[in-house]
């Protein structure tokens, strides 16, 4: 093949690379009351989640950011126990690869000897079959509660229909607002979950998934959603912007053709 033909083939191949393959990170904050058994004011109950895609890998870090709890709450009610979301468009979780204690996080109670990076896989389930209670409308659910598996479930250690029996095993705030008994398991701050998906997500898809997700505290105690856009926007992690800036010189050297060709190379949504 001549050098000129080789260059044309390389450019064509680059243009055909799907924009969907671009890594992306979205952070959402849960502060909107979405129902549950609690009828008292939230009084500081809150959470956040970081959704990150890179190829077929989806990583979600769920954090209990509560600064208080509703009046009369018990320790189990203060724990973050479930996350519900919809991948949509026939996309499924193929495997739950890991569930580990997040960075700057520690185990509590019976998990007091555990620290960041340690596995809690046996106490968390995932499903493509929806949850119970207010999570029935969400196809994908991560939970430490048996009641939040509407159909077939798997644990992150590969066990089918695991006996997780939460809400203990859930996520407390850092520091915990209510002490976790020494006989019970919990994690203070965050847990990181990693999945393999059946298809690659675009950044815009990831934003819709994250923005439409919901978390559960306790056993049907309180559900929190992401506030509507305008009251609390979705945040793109600065690293995504930094990476794109670093790529600009490479793009300008590699693509000197029509403007439409350059736009195709830049697109990641």
Q: What is the pLDDT of residue 18?
A: 46
Summarize the confidence of residues 183-204 as an average pLDDT: 97
Give me the percent of the chain exceeding a pLDDT of 90. 66
Rounded CA separation 145/163 (Å): 9
Inter-CA distances, 152 with 89, 146, 149, Å: 20, 11, 7
Inter-CA distances, 78 with 29, 70, 173, 185, 188, Å: 17, 9, 8, 13, 11
Q: Which parts of the chain fold into alpha helices (H)? A: 3-16, 203-211, 238-254, 259-266
Q: What is the pLDDT of residue 162?
A: 85
Q: What is the pLDDT of residue 21?
A: 55
Q: Which of 240, 242, 235, 229 is nearest to 268 (CA)?
A: 240
In this structure, of 93-107, 116-130, 153-167, 224-238, the range with the lowest mean pLDDT score is 224-238
Neighbours of 17 (CB within 10 A): 11
Residue with structure tokens 């959704």? Answer: 51
Q: Which of 115, 99, 227 is nearest to 166 (CA)?
A: 99
pTM of the complete model:
0.79
- Cβ-contact 162, 153 below 8 angstroms: yes
**Whether residue 83 has a cis bond before it, omega within 30° of 0:** no
Rounded CA separation 142/130 (Å): 10
pLDDT at 234 over 50: no
Please give the mean pLDDT across all residues of the chain: 83
Q: Which of 246, 192, 190, 229 is nearest to 23 (CA)?
A: 246
Residue with structure tokens 């819709």? Answer: 208
Summarize the confidence of residues 231-257 as an average pLDDT: 42
Running DSSP on this structure, what letter comes out for residue 138? -
Q: Are strands 47-54 and 24-30 parallel, antiparallel or unpaired?
A: antiparallel
Rounded CA separation 143/150 (Å): 11
Work out the widest C-alpha separation in the chain, in whole angstroms: 77
| Side-chain-facing half-sphere of 181: CA atoms under 13 Å | 6
What angle, rounded to 10 degrees, do the helices at 259-266 and 238-254 form? 150
Q: pLDDT tens digit string along 19-78?
A: 445 899 999 999 999 999 999 999 999 999 999 999 999 999 999 999 999 999 999 999
Q: Which of 99, 23, 13 is nearest to 56 (CA)?
A: 23
């Amino acid at each position: 093949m001549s050098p000129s033909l080789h260059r044309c083939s390389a450019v064509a191949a680059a243009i055909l690379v799907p924009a969907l393959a671009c890594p992306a990170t979205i952070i959402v904050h849960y502060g909107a009351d979405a129902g549950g058994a609690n009828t008292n004011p939230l009084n500081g109950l809150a959470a956040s989640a970081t959704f990150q895609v890179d190829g077929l890998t989806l990583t979600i870090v769920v954090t209990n950011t509560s600064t208080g709890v509703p009046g009369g709450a018990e320790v189990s009610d203060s724990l973050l126990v479930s996350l519900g979301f919809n991948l949509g468009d026939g996309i499924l979780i193929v495997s739950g690869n890991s569930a580990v204690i997040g960075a700057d996080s520690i185990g509590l109670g019976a998990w007091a000897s555990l620290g960041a990076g340690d596995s809690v896989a046996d106490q968390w389930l995932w499903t493509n079959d929806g949850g119970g209670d207010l999570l029935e409308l969400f196809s994908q659910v991560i939970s430490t509660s048996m009641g939040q598996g509407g159909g077939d479930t798997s644990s992150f250690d590969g066990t089918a229909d695991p006996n997780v029996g939460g809400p203990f095993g859930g996520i407390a705030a850092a520091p915990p607002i209510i002490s976790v008994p020494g006989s019970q398991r919990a994690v203070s701050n965050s847990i990181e979950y990693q999945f393999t998906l059946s298809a690659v997500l675009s950044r815009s898809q990831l934003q819709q998934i994250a923005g439409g997700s919901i978390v559960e505290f306790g056993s049907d105690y309180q559900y929190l959603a992401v506030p509507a856009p305008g009251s609390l926007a979705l945040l793109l992690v600065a690293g995504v912007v930094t990476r794109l800036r670093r790529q600009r010189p490479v793009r300008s050297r590699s693509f000197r053709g029509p403007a439409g060709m350059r736009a195709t190379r830049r697109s990641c949504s």
